[in-house]
Amino acid sequence: MESSSAPSGGSTRREATRQKLYEAAVTLIAEQGFSATTVDEIAERAGVAKGTVYYNFASKSVLFEELLRHGVGLLTASLREAAEQTARDGGSKVDALDAMIRAGLVFIDRYPSFTQLYVAELWRTNRAWQSTLMVVRQQAVAVVEGVLREGVDKGEFSEEIDVPLTAAALVGMVLVAALDWKSFQPERSLDDVHAALSRLLQGRVSGRG
Amino acid sequence: MESSSAPSGGSTRREATRQKLYEAAVTLIAEQGFSATTVDEIAERAGVAKGTVYYNFASKSVLFEELLRHGVGLLTASLREAAEQTARDGGSKVDALDAMIRAGLVFIDRYPSFTQLYVAELWRTNRAWQSTLMVVRQQAVAVVEGVLREGVDKGEFSEEIDVPLTAAALVGMVLVAALDWKSFQPERSLDDVHAALSRLLQGRVSGRG
DNA sequence: ACTTTTGCACTGACCAGTCAGTTCAAAAAA
DNA sequence: TTTTTTGAACTGACTGGTCAGTGCAAAAGT
């Protein structure tokens, strides 16, 4: 075979091509949707022949599915890291949630197209990649749920909170606020957006500031 | 201006056909996306000939655009009604927000497909109906923003809150929680979901219940 | 009378996926 | 060293199929 040779980790020619295809596909699909995006477009934007797409991926759907897995993997790792870091620093569970909100914002700031595409596809039914999507979604949400549950156990959060639903609501809060930020007020700083969401999380909306 | 068996000039038959087409299109597009849904499918599900689609709408895009306008119009009216009703009853602004959360949940409960489709298209760029979508979105969000602003003026909310961003976050909270509810825990009651979101809104997450 | 719907054949553009052929760097042979 | 071979990676013209939108005469509704 070949491989080996390349000293740095996983930097084969093939891997580089796949990466280019991911990047091309993510922006195009975020803009236009999966069906409206052609494989020719993806290949062209990646600077690659159409055949190369099919050499690297079994089909358009498979390319998309792997893109999805790859992206949500990054997000999940980032959320987990934020939670663990807070724990290491002896922070409370609210601090952990806050850190995860920030991690979410950083992620969306860095990969806005991916986020957009994810939201657009998440609740669709009857699609080939539906099951893949549910799995990766659950991995990400589970991190939030974990922190909430630990908070309940520690007595920091009310026992009456509905963990899965609250987790979903928190994720939605960050997701929609961030997408609106990127779409309609892109000039604002991440700190600014984070502060606003932090306030909402901690119930410091009611009452004067 | 529909229903009513009044013999007034405007033909009601046409209106009924349009309604059937809306209903067929909304579920199909929610499931599959705009591009993946064919006009033939829409016509078939509506129980109508393909020619009828084009007799009633200039194109597939126009049909979709009018569907979008129609749906968001219903939501906006419902939110506005909830806010006004609360005001009439002498409720606080938090009560108004709470009533709007419920109104949002009722809407999503009734029109889950529409909601799904709306979320999937909202942050897309480069699409024909993009501008239409931004206008109707703003109409809906403005209702929430209005209540927040009034709350700030009355001293009920902190002056430091970021009105547009907080409004977006609240909408996101309801949207995502509700879509998750419908997708993953459809057996739960609306009251249940409403209670969980209410708690989050009022900062009753931290501290024991 | 006139509006609306039907049914169906047709067109032209567009697109996912294929495949025979090319490239080129590294391994094997000379 | 120099030459030859190998094969993974890549290419792009081509195919078979799909779909938005058209045209129109006859039927159904009001």
Chain A residues 84-123 with CB within 8 Å of chain B = 94, 116, 119-123
**Mean pLDDT score, A81-93:** 97
Q: Which CATH superfamily is domain B9-57 in?
A: Homeodomain-like (1.10.10.60)
Min Cα separation B56/chain A (Å): 25
Residues B79, B61 contacting (CB under 8 angstroms): no
The spacing between the Cα labelled CA in B51 and the C1' in D28, in angstroms, equals 15
Per-residue pLDDT, A7: 32
How many residues appear in chain B? 209
Residue pair A166/A178 in contact by the 8 Å Cβ criterion: no
Distance CA A185, CA B104 (A): 24
pLDDT digit string, tens, across residues A26-75: 999 999 999 999 999 999 999 999 999 999 999 999 999 999 999 999 99
As to burial, measured by CB atoms within 10 angstroms (0-12 exposed, 13-18 middle, 19+ buried), residue B186 is exposed
Query: Which fold, A65-201?
Result: Tetracycline Repressor; domain 2 (1.10.357)
Give the pair of three-digit tokens for residue B143: 């209702």
What residues of chain B, 142 to 201, have a C-beta less than 8 Å from chain A?
Answer: 155-162, 164-166, 168-177, 179-181, 183-185, 192-193, 195-197, 199-201
* Burial class, B175, CB count within 10 angstroms (exposed 0-12 / middle 13-18 / buried 19+): buried
Residue A4 has pLDDT above 50, yes or no: no
Q: Which residue has the tokens 């006009």?
A: B39
Judge whether A201 and A170 are in contact, CB under 8 Å. yes
pLDDT digits (tens, 9 = 90+) for A157-208: 999 999 999 999 999 999 999 999 999 899 999 999 999 999 999 887 665 4
pLDDT at A207: 56
Both structure tokens of A157: 């959060």
Pick one of 1.10.10.60, 3.40.30.10, 1.20.1740.10, 2.60.40.420 as the CATH number of A10-57. 1.10.10.60
How confident is the model at residue B100, as a pLDDT? 98
Q: A23, A181, A168: which is closest to A109 by C-alpha?
A: A181
Asked whether B136 and B73 are in contact (CB, 8 A), the reply is: yes
Closest among A62, A205, A193 to B148, alpha carbons compared: A205
Look at A120 and B125 and tell me if their CB atoms are within 8 Å.
no
**What does the block give as tokens for A199?**
């306030």
Nearest to B207 among A32, A158, A209 (CB): A158
CA A10 to chain centre: 23
Q: Dihedral angle at the C-alpha atoms of B132, B138, B140, B143, nearest 10 degrees?
A: -150
Give B52: exposed, middle or buried? Use CB within 10 Å, 0-12, 13-18, 19+. middle
First-last CA distance in chain A: 66
Alpha-helical regions (H) of B89-189: 93-110, 112-122, 130-153, 163-184
Residue A161 confidence (pLDDT): 94
Question: Which H or E run includes A13?
Answer: helix A13-32
Task: Mark A23-34 as b/e (b = at least 16 C-beta within 10 Å).
Answer: bbbbbbbbbbbb
Query: What are the 10-residue block averages of pLDDT along chain B, 209 residues in total?
Result: 35 90 97 96 97 98 96 96 97 97 98 95 85 91 97 94 96 95 94 96 69
Give the domain ranges of chain B: 9-57, 65-201
What local confidence, expressed as pLDDT, does residue B207 receive?
57
Contacts of A180 in chain B (CB under 8 A): 164-165, 168, 172
